[in-house]
Structure 1
Amino acid sequence: MALHADARDWTLRTAHNEDEMWALADEEGIRAARLAYPSGWLFLTRDDATRELVRLAAATGGEWKADELAHELDQSTDHVERRLDDLVELAVFREVDGAYRPNNQSVVAQTAERLRVTADEHGAEDGFRDIASPEVVRLMLDALLSTDSNDELTQDTLHELVGESRKSMWMHVDRLTNLGVLEESGDSYVIHEASPVLGHVKALDAAVLGTALSP
């Protein structure tokens, strides 16, 4: 499924196009490839407007015009309208006559709220924001979605999987250990296989893809 992203479309990553992502990684680097072929997780957390709209849909009812939400988020109306259109396609919002209302039946919004609550319970100050920003944290979680839980993650391994600088990742990896996603193992890290936070990230990824690919 292709969804809006500024001047070009995003192609959500699936088993059918993952090889294309890795081919692009050989040409442009793994970071660029992950962003060009985002997982459901990356797509839903890709910018401030999308993240805040998802939080809003998960937490409250109400009805708004795009310009009202743009004012609330301090973003341009065009930008917010594009993000809302994507979220309507994902059934997070419903749109009627130019007004947007959270869909209280949305699997994506419900899963995002469970992730927020779980992250808060594991020490986050604001669960969804804490694990969805900055970009390096989003990309590390994206890489962990398809990493074997038995693999040891060294500084070099994370650099190869994520494409961010070693210094940047090492500055932020503590956020994932504090949330119970990773555990220290000597000079490396391993995935905490029973991590409820990572489990909800995987569930959110699956909810986005499942909704996007459903007829």
Structure 2
Amino acid sequence: MAATAGHRLAGKLVIATHNAGKLREISALLAPYGVDCVSAGELGLPEPAETGTSFVENALIKARVAAEAAGLPALADDSGLCVVALGGRPGVYTADWAERQWFEGEPGQDWQGRDWYMAMGKVEGLLAEQGPSVDRSGWFACVLAIAWPDGASAVYEGRVDGTLTWPPRGALGFGYDPVFVPLGGTLTFAEIDPADKHRISHRADAFAKLVADQFAD
């Protein structure tokens, strides 16, 4: 969904995240276009409940809350892993599958306090239940949403297809990267150099569409 006529990014932009790493990554991507990024966390903005049932809905929720609170354009992303044989799950619940419940012990100590090995194990367990011939294909999805204070918005969707492997391999990525092999490749996302991964990732796909719409002459 392209931006409403007359709405283009310029000047200051709120990145609707409290994650410093995500702010650095998106800021670096936007720097060549003269956009000055500040995070919702730096501005002390609230983190809204992600009550949507799709990546688009959740990204728009985060972007609109930040834009309204800051009085500035805001960019949010929502992303996750979708597995064909699991009916598209974990999907919007990708991060939730890494959250330990009270009966599973203490929360993990890795990225954002989530236990991603446990999450990967849940996916593999559900695939294994379907037998050795199960369809192991899936994709990573990313939605970038921009919201302006006047209510205008734009959405850019990215995707990278691949297959799920087991056991996990590699230490260069995070999340489900160690079990995801992009289509046409042999290495997992966690075995690929981060710079190479960023060129082919779902976020790169969505960002390329954003740049084409927002900054093309």
Q: TM-score, normalised by structure 2?
A: 0.31
Query: Which is richer in helix?
Result: 1
Q: TM-score, normalised by structure 1?
A: 0.31
Higher relative contact order (CA closer than 8 Å, sequence separation 6+): 1
